[in-house]
Structure 1
Amino acid sequence: MRRRAWLAAAAFACASVHVQAQAQTQAQAFPSKTVRIIVPQPPGGGFDTVGRLLAERLGRVTGQSFVVENRTGSGTLVGTDAAAKSPADGYTLVVGSISNLALNPGLYANLPYDSLRDFEPVGLLVSYSYTLVARKDLPFHTLQDVLAYARANPGKLHYASAGVGSGQHVLGAALWHLAGVDIGHVPYRGAQPAYQDLLGGRVDLFFDLSPTARVQVDAGNTRALAVSGAARNPMHPQVPTVLETGAAQLELESWFGLFAPAKTPPEVLQKLRADFAKVAALPDVQETLVKTGGKPMALIGDDARAVVRRDVEHWSKLVKTLGIRAE
């Protein structure tokens, strides 16, 4: 009897060692084929910039191809949902941000994915503020002037966004709501078409990510009125924060990072996080992020999860309180 029990225990131990060895081998072998990074926005915006930077550097670090797939539709909903429903094997990842993970739960009554249950954070790479820009011929030079005109002329001004439910949409809607003004929303399929109409004078305002807004501001095509962060942005040191203007008690910086579907094997997540950490620590990556007006984060695993959970709870609640809906 004792011998039988001993043999059973030995067999169990051998099986456990075998499973551990298999897991270790799987992690060491990963990735053994092309990894797809879903970007839930069109080319040219913050999602796309971060996705392509990560794809290129992860390809160098691992020696395997990481390719960007722009999956657009319904703001960021279509691409993010596609990632949530992809096989949890590490070969389909998604760029996650405040927009698709923290704002969408408040914007949609029937969101097809759960930001906290359906995704595992690989890591958060960077955060960016937003810059409120106006078309260059708009006869207002401050946010206070814009709000004064909007109060006297409800519905006469219009602001662009990169899509329903995007950060540009929610941030603008929250500001106008808190300031008590009626400014119409015109959604586009990404930042580039929004700029086409802003530069063409067909819309008046755009709350865009500071790095992409900077190009148009520096070229003299638009005028910067305010930034959304808690402090002024080094790219626009002369531009006040929304808080400084007294327009509203509102601040937002959008983080961007890489996420895997839930139930991705722990050993694969561990490998992904180790590679992500290597990329985030590269001096040229840090330099690129700072030069584009970002704040490098390099948060991995549990640290990233804590930030995501905090912002999902805060922003989804605020969006519901403000009554901002995507449908």
Structure 2
Amino acid sequence: MLFKRLYQSYLCAVAGALLLGTSVLASAQGYPSKAVKVIIPFPPGGPTDTVGRMLAQKLSEETGQSFIVENRPGGQGVIGGDAVAKSAADGYTLLFSASTFTTTPMTLKSSPYDVVKDFTPIALVGKGPLAVSVNKKLPIRNIKELISYAQAHPGKMSFAIGSQASAGHLSTELLKRAGKIDYLVVPYKGSSPAYQDLIGGAIDGFIDPVLGVMSYHKSGMVRVVAVTSRDRLPSMPDVPTVAETVPGYEFYSWYGLWGPSNLPADVTKRLNAAVNKALASDLRTRLAEQGYLLSPGTPEDFARFQKEDMVRSAKIVAEAKIRAE
């Protein structure tokens, strides 16, 4: 009798496990079966929001389900990131963010999440070269003249940063060291007020994503003297790279899609495939026109890229002693 009861319990356990496995598999195969929330941890209108919304629209088209963007700014991106870290690992709450997602926690005394342990890398969407801009009244038209001017006015030249630990901030600190120059780094709450002061002459220079400076560049309100990509950009062919004067200099803001930790492998692959398909559509041309370099690849490629970038960024953060304010 005891053996019969144990055997029946065993059969129930096996049936339950099979049912659970079938349910998970069916869920993954049918994903997405409802609307997906994409949290962008910054206000509307910035480069991250612009690219994120363009991608969300394409993912909606590719999957047949709505990918709804929810802006959740605050805490330099930490509030939105924390919301995703604590969400269910079912693929219905995702994070679209920029490289500040990995660098900001490096500057905090404590972070509510671990970038590596609490998230699943899904896809690297693209890299955004930065533009080195100066006030147009300055006698600076290229990086060589910028370095000469800074050396002639040590500690007096000023560069804006749109946000702490951003790609622009790290790039600004890297240029200071690579060019062996010194200038004052002035923090702003966003790129818009930084551009206004750059145009007005209160600030001498600003390194920001190409997308952000494009309208000011085309209108002649600021002077773009270089881009931080390895090669010149098709969208700005007459603008040289920093590396043409400072060999080896290369820096990007980059954008990616993450889910919470333990996201099912099938869901991760489904999302990755949808992102790569979106990057092969007309979105490719639209982003390229704005200076972006698209980076399709596997989730493993993205995880590897993130790890390498974090090592490099941590070195800059430590050397420059960048701390969140």
Q: Give the TM-score category using the shorter length.
A: 0.7 to 0.9
Give CA-to-partner distance per residue, 1:11-36, whole Å, 9 cap, x none. Answer: 55533431222012322444344322
AA at the equivalent of 1:255: W
Q: CA deviation at 1:2?
A: 9.6
The equivalent residue for 2:64 is 63
Structure 1 Cα separation of the partners of residues 17 and 181 of structure 2: 64
Whole-Å separation in 1 of the counterparts to 2:193 and 2:256: 24
Q: How does 1:127-166 map to 2 (within 5 A)?
A: 127-166=127-166
Tell me how far apart the structure 2 counterparts of residues 167 and 326 of structure 1 sit (CA, whole Å): 14
Match of 2:314 in 1: 316
- More moved, 218-227 vs 137-146: 137-146
SS in 1 for 2:262: coil
Aligned partner of 2:244 in structure 1 is: 244
Give, in whole Å, the separation in 2 of the partners of 1:48 and 1:277: 19
Distance across 2 between alignment mates of 1:7 and 1:128 = 60
**Alpha-carbon contact 1:107-1:316 (below 8 Å) kept:** no
Q: Deviations over 1:275-309 (max 9, x none)?
A: 3233233x212222222222221123112111111
Residue 15 (structure 1) aligns with: 16
**Aligned partners of 1:79 and 1:235: how far apart in 2?**
32
Please give the residue correspondences for 1:226-237 in structure 2 after superposition, counting only pairs within 5 Å.
226-237=226-237
Q: Is the 8 A contact 2:170 2:316 kept in 1?
A: no
Alpha-carbon distance change, 3 to 78 in structure 1, aligned in 2, over 3 angstroms: closer
Counterpart for residue 90 of structure 1: 91
1:154 is displaced (CA, Å) by 3.5
Tell me the secondary structure at the aligned position of residue 298 of structure 1: coil
Equivalent AA in structure 2 for residue 260 of structure 1: G
Task: Name the amino acid aligned to 2:168.
Answer: Q
The offset of 1:136, in angstroms, is 2.0
Summarize the Cα distance change of 1:78–1:13 in structure 2 as closer, same or farther, 3 Å threshold: closer
- Would the alpha carbon gap of residues 278 and 238 (structure 1) be closer, same or farther in structure 2, given more than 3 Å must change? closer
CA displacement at 1:3 relative to structure 2: 8.4
Equivalent position of 1:292 in the other structure: 290
Distance 2:80 2:137 in 1: 36
Equivalent pairs counted in the alignment come to: 324
TM-score under structure 1 normalisation?
0.87
Contact 1:135 1:201 in 2 (8 A): yes
What residue in structure 1 maps to residue 37 of structure 2?
A: 36
Structure 2 counterpart of 1:47, which letter?
A: T
From the superposition, tell whether residues 206 and 143 of structure 1 become closer, same or farther in structure 2 (CA, over 3 Å): same
Range with bigger deviation, 88-97 or 285-294:
88-97
Give the superposed CA RMSD.
Answer: 2.7
1:146-179 Cα shifts (integer Å, max 9, x gaps)? 2333233334322222211111111112212343
Residue type of the partner of 1:133? S
CA distance in 2, matches of 1:302, 1:207: 30
Counterpart Cα distance in 2 of 1:77 and 1:201: 32
State whether residues 86 and 261 of structure 1, in contact with CA within 8 Å, keep that contact through their aligned partners in structure 2: yes
CA distance in 1, matches of 2:277, 2:12: 39
When residues 86 and 293 of structure 1 are mapped into structure 2, their CA distance, relative to the original with a 3 A threshold, is same
Unaligned runs of 5+ in 2: none
Q: Distance in 1 between matches of 2:88 and 2:6?
A: 39
Q: Following the alignment from structure 1 to structure 2, what is the Cα–Cα distance between the partners of residues 169 and 241?
A: 18
Distance in 1 between residues matched to 2:313 and 2:157, nearest whole Å = 26
- TM-score where L is the length of structure 2: 0.87
Deviates more, 1:82-91 or 1:111-120: 82-91
Q: What is the aligned-residue identity percentage?
A: 36
Q: 2:146 & 2:31 partners in 1: Cα distance?
A: 53
Tell me the distance in 1 between the aligned counterparts of 2:34 and 2:101.
27
d(CA) in 2 for partners of 1:70 and 1:191?
17
Question: Contact 2:124 / 2:257 at 8 angstroms: preserved in 1?
Answer: yes
Equivalent position to 1:304, from 281, 302, 305: 302
1: distance between equivalents of 2:50 and 2:318?
Answer: 29
Moved more, 197-206 or 268-277: 268-277
SS in 2 for 1:287: helix
